[in-house]
């Protein structure tokens, strides 16, 4: 009953097979192999336009290098106050951007991980272009799906990216769970990115069946001019890049990536259905992707853990304090491509 994170899951057999096949041959190094070229072409086909692709090892590398490509002196980047880039990248964004400033946008209670357009405008207004004493606005970063497991609609992404574009900013999307968001919306990758105004995407494969595969994707290849040297300086130019590319090639083949995401989302929805039937738990907010947040007592959480369940406690979002009893907390459960129906049934019985 592993619901702690989709990072706990192993690799899909097709991904493992792609690595074995790549291991049995010679490949040109540093991203120049035929496998690298095929995977990049497959990503261009996925997004229905020519894109510039840079394979990296981790989501931290993808996010920090993507934002570094937009860096300017005294650069300021806006993100949600609970975003991964500001709370869980260990200072990598600030390091790679040469001291860039991440500005948290605090949305209204109930937004559940989403940036509110008015809140974004207020945050940006604190950095007027003609004031040398404040930072220079450079980027907006959106997390899709969000840290709260919610999913921006296409209209919400378009509205926020339009605000950024009007102010001369580029829009970056942290897509660690990009696949789950696409599956939840039932849209195309193009509709959720460049057609909605997104300029750069950190595309995550690791949480959805890959062993170690992330990519930075530029929808305007001209924006990627600095990226080759940024990736080298950031210690993410692999001599054997073909092994990352091979994972993406297998991940994209026959729409495996979306099938795995749909499965994870479906398992989460089953868990949500079970939680709604329990007298000892309740759902903190609506479930949209492969993450569900349940309110339960410490006693109930400890009983689940003694039975073998793995999940994380979650900090109470601003504005939700009154919804919790003194001995209650929010707990996060995540399903993955590897979650089985019997896993959900076992924890549902405990709930």
The 10s digit of each residue's pLDDT in 104-157 is: 998 777 678 999 999 999 999 999 999 999 999 999 999 999 999 999 999 999
- The H-assigned helical ranges of the chain are 13-23, 34-47, 59-68, 84-87, 92-96, 117-125, 154-166, 178-185, 189-192, 227-233, 242-252, 256-276, 298-306, 341-350
Cis peptide before 107 (omega within 30 of 0): no
Q: What is the mean pLDDT of residues 298-313?
A: 96
Query: Tokens 């907006």 — which residue?
Result: 140
Upper half-sphere CA count for residue 4 (Cβ side, 13 Å): 8
For residue 175, the cross-strand partners are 203
* Residue 295: strand, helix, or coil: strand
**What does each C-alpha distance from 27 to 211, 248, 327 come to in angstroms?**
19, 16, 57
**Secondary structure (3-state) at 45:** helix
Q: How far is Cα 73 from Cα 86, in angstroms, rounded to an integer? A: 19
Rounded to two decimals, what is the model's pTM? 0.96
Section 279-293 average pLDDT = 93
User: Looking at the predicted structure, is the pLDDT value of residue 23 above 80?
Assistant: yes
- Residue 141 tokens read as 């970063």
Within 10 angstroms of residue 80's Cβ, the number of other Cβ atoms is 27
Residue 215 in contact with residue 238, Cβ under 8 Å? no
Tell me which DSSP letter residue 2 carries.
B
pLDDT per residue over 43-90, tens digit each? 999 999 999 999 999 999 999 999 999 999 999 999 999 999 999 999
């Amino acid at each position: 009953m592993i619901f702690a994170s989709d990072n706990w899951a192993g690799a899909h057999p097709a991904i493992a097979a792609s690595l074995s096949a790549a291991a049995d041959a010679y490949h040109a190094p540093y991203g120049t192999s035929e496998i690298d070229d095929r995977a990049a072409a497959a990503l261009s086909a996925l997004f229905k336009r020519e894109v510039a692709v840079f394979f990296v090892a981790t989501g931290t590398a993808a996010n920090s290098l993507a934002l570094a490509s937009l860096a300017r002196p005294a650069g300021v980047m806006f993100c949600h106050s609970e975003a991964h880039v500001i709370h869980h990248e260990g200072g990598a964004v600030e390091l790679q951007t040469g001291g860039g400033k991440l500005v948290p946008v605090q949305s209204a209670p109930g937004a559940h991980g989403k940036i509110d357009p008015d809140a974004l405008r207020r945050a940006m207004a604190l950095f007027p272009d003609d004031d040398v004493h404040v930072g220079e606005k450079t980027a907006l970063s959106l997390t899709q799906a969000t840290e709260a497991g919610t999913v921006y609609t296409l209209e919400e992404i378009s509205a926020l990216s339009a605000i950024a574009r009007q102010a001369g900013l580029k829009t970056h999307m942290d897509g660690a769970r990009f696949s789950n968001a696409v599956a939840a919306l039932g849209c195309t990758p193009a509709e959720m990115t460049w057609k909605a105004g997104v300029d750069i995407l950190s595309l995550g494969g690791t949480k959805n069946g890959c062993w170690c595969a992330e990519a930075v994707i530029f929808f305007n290849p001209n924006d990627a001019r600095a990226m080759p040297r940024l990736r080298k300086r950031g210690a993410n130019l692999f001599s054997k890049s073909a092994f990352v590319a091979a994972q993406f090639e297998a991940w994209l083949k026959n729409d495996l990536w979306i099938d795995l995401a749909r499965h994870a989302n479906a398992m989460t929805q089953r868990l949500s259905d079970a939680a709604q039937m329990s007298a000892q738990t309740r759902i903190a907010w609506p479930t949209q992707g492969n993450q569900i947040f349940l309110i339960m007592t410490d006693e109930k959480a400890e009983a689940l853990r003694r039975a073998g369940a793995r999940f994380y406690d979650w900090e109470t979002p601003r504005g939700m304090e009154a919804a919790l009893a003194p001995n209650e907390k929010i707990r996060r459960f995540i399903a993955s491509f590897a979650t089985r129906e019997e896993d959900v049934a076992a924890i549902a019985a405990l709930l």
